[in-house]
Structure formats: structure tokens, C-alpha cells
């Protein structure tokens, strides 16, 4: 916990308008999406002290910036009063295919079966954890992207945001 408290996490926007995450001055936007980080995210966030600290950090980022935040408890716990809540879903198989493609593009390929197994396990862990289990917020718009490609998914999400912000 001491290490966590001493960390300086910042959200910055580059010239192109993209959100970047910095840890102690270092851009970690790509690293936070690496398989090793994903594997440990659920286990680490299950600790109540870590959860409480991260919860306040996420809320502070949202107070200071206009953000799009993703996570398994954003709409129910972190930002329950968010202007727009989307419960984004897809089959485990579709998510595994996408993750494998992303990992190949980054030069860190993993087998489909391994990725699928990890996704299924993380889903189970996150829906059954005692603190802030994964669940859909009652006022969230459900968007299932199982059969949509990236551009189609983006179009649906932009439409939902536009409708919700009216």
C-alpha cells in the first residue's frame, strides 16, 4: 500500500487529443494493456485497500478531466452518476479473438485457447468477487459487439453517446 500511495498517476492529452496515462512521469498507456497486467488486475483489485485507493484516484481523474473510462465497475461503483453509461459486452470467444489479434500486433502473441481461458476465468472471478462485482448498472445502455467490427462498434457507441447526451 505504501508503494501505491507514493505513486503519481496522471492523465494527459497529447497533441492528437488522445488520452495518455502516466505513472511517476512515465507514459504507461500501452503497458497497462499488456497480458501480464491483465492477468493480475482482478487479483490485485480484490484487495479492499487497493480498491479504495484506486476508487478515489479514478473519481479524482473524472472530477478533473472529461474522461471516457472503462472498467468492470465504472458505472456501478466508480462513477454511478456518469452522464453516459454503456455496458459493453461480447462473447468470450469474440473477445479472445480480438485480444489475440491485438497481442500479435504488439509482437506478444499468445494462443487463442490460453487467452480464452484467461477471459473466462477473469469473468468468473469478477462476477463472484465480494467487493464491487461485475454487473450491469440499471441505467446503462447494453451494447453487444460480438458480431461487430471495430468501425461498426464505434458507430454504435457514438450513436448511444449522442442519444444519451441529448
| 64 backbone dihedrals φ, ψ, rounded to 5° | -90, -20
Q: What is the mean pLDDT of the chain?
A: 89
Nearest CA among 73, 74, 69, 84 for reference residue 19: 69
Question: What is the DSSP code (8-state) at residue 83?
Answer: S
Q: Is 86 strand, coil or helix?
A: strand
Give the pLDDT score at 19.
Answer: 82
The residues spanned by each domain of the chain are 2-165
Give the pLDDT score at 52.
Answer: 86
Other C-beta atoms lying within 10 Å of the C-beta of residue 72 = 20
pTM over 0.85: no
pLDDT category of residue 45 using cuts at 50, 70 and 90:
confident
**pLDDT at residue 101 greater than cutoff 80:** yes
Q: Is 2 strand, coil or helix?
A: helix
Q: Residue 59 and residue 74: Cα distance in Å, rounded?
A: 10
CATH code given to domain 2-165: 3.40.50.300
Q: What digits encode the pLDDT tens for the residues 111-121?
A: 999 999 999 99
Amino acid at each position: 500500500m505504501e508503494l501505491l500511495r507514493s505513486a503519481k498517476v496522471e492523465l494527459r492529452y497529447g497533441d492528437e487529443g488522445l488520452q495518455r496515462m502516466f505513472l511517476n512521469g512515465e507514459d504507461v498507456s500501452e503497458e497497462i494493456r499488456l497480458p501480464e497486467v491483465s492477468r493480475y488486475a482482478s487479483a490485485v483489485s480484490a484487495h479492499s485497500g487497493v480498491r479504495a485507493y484506486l476508487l478515489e484516484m479514478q473519481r479524482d481523474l473524472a472530477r478533473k478531466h472529461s474522461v471516457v473510462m472503462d472498467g468492470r465497475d465504472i458505472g456501478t461503483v466508480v462513477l454511478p452518476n456518469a452522464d453516459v453509461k454503456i455496458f459493453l459486452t461480447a462473447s468470450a470467444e469474440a473477445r479472445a479473438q480480438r485480444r489475440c489479434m491485438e497481442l500479435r500486433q504488439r509482437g506478444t502473441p499468445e494462443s487463442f485457447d490460453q487467452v480464452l481461458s484467461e477471459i473466462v476465468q477473469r469473468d468468473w472471478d469478477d462476477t463472484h468477487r465480494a467487493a464491487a462485482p461485475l454487473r450491469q448498472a440499471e441505467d446503462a445502455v447494453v451494447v453487444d459487439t460480438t458480431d461487430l467490427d471495430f468501425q461498426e462498434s464505434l458507430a454504435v457507441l457514438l450513436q448511444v453517446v449522442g442519444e444519451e447526451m441529448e
